[in-house]
Amino acid sequence: MPSSPPVIPIVTGPTASGKSALALALAARFGGAIVNADAMQTYDAFPILTAQPSAEERGRVPHRLFGILDIADPLTAARWRRMAIEAISELLTLGRWPMLVGGSGLYLRTLVEGIAPIPPVPAAVRAAARQDWQLLGPGAFRARLAAADPEIAARLAPADRQRQIRAWEVFAASGRPLSDWQRARSDAPPPWRFLWILLAPDRAWLRQRIALRFDAMIEAGVLAEVRRVAARNLPPDLPGLKAHGAPELLRHIRGEIDLSIARQRAIDITRQYAKRQSTWFRHQIIPDLTIDPQSSEAETVATQLMDKWRQ
């Protein structure tokens, strides 16, 4: 492998599709390293719940950006982008082949394409936007957002509270719609080419995998790590507390629902998220390689990867 590879592979796809296992096999095969591109895996509080790599896996190849932030330390796409560029640059200097791995599509697109120069939003404006959501209700809040920024309102799902509040707070703070800021990208893309490897599993297979993985998490002690977070009494709107399964397990720990109900709801929500991810990837990226994780062996993918890399 050349000392300065011009191509950075991106291994992505819906949750539970086998991204981490494939990336680990490829990194071990090529003397590479893994850079996390999953927003929730950046936090340190839920290593089991967010399926972070084990100590044994981290010992096989270098890993970067896993479990590096306290859950009370909010992460944005812009911040992750800066950290990812630093990690990739460091690994290239060390002669490692960095491989981005994760399913946070927006974060990945931000890295590859650059990011809009949105100014910081004052804390008071953020707090007011959250309060407005409560006072106005989702319907009226969305109508107000649509009047100020019809483009962004049309793109967001009615139930997407977090992104609707974000869009409104940007408009309230800057007087300019978020969609305008997003068109005015100023940060240049990084000086690498990217090779997209998309895992596209059969839906029924993935649904079963999601259920089996959640049950394995319970067996591995996920309730203990959720209890540790619950004991901190953190603000419920922190992004890190939205890890799939966390709200449901927190409700179980508070005595509000049985574990069986929490389990089923967590599995259902994760399946819905996987479906949205698959739709996003289908419409937002053009993969260089599309992999069926049920039938593709790592060596086969490695051969295809090298063919694309040589091209």
Please state the φ and ψ torsions of residue 136, each to the nearest 5 degrees: -80, -30
Closest to 19 measured CA to CA, from 249, 304, 211, 296: 296
CATH of 123-183, one of 1.10.20.140, 1.10.150.120, 3.30.470.20, 2.40.10.120: 1.10.20.140
- pLDDT digit string (tens) for the chain, length 311 residues: 444 445 899 999 999 999 999 999 999 999 999 999 999 999 999 999 999 999 999 999 999 999 999 999 989 888 999 999 999 999 999 999 999 999 999 899 889 877 767 777 888 898 899 899 999 999 999 999 999 999 999 988 787 787 799 899 999 999 999 888 877 765 667 888 899 999 999 999 999 999 999 999 999 999 999 999 999 999 988 999 999 999 999 999 999 999 999 999 999 999 999 999 999 898 888 888 898 888 766 667 777 777 776 66
pLDDT value of position 2: 41
List all residues 6 or more positions away from 12 whose beta carbon is below 8 Å from its beta carbon. 19, 37, 100, 101, 102, 103, 105, 108, 196, 197, 198, 199, 281, 285
Residue-level pLDDT at 4: 46
Q: Are 222 and 244 within 8 A, CB to CB?
A: no
Where are the domain boundaries for CATH 3.40.50.300 in the chain?
7-115+187-310
Q: How far apart are CA 252 and CA 257, in angstroms?
A: 5
CATH 3.40.50.2000 fits 7-115+187-310, yes or no: no
What sign has the CA pseudo-torsion 311, 194, 278, 69?
A: positive
- Residue 297 has a pLDDT of 67
Residue pair 187/194 in contact (Cβ under 8 Å)? The answer is no
pLDDT the model gives residue 188: 65
Cα distance between residue 284 and residue 109, in whole Å: 9
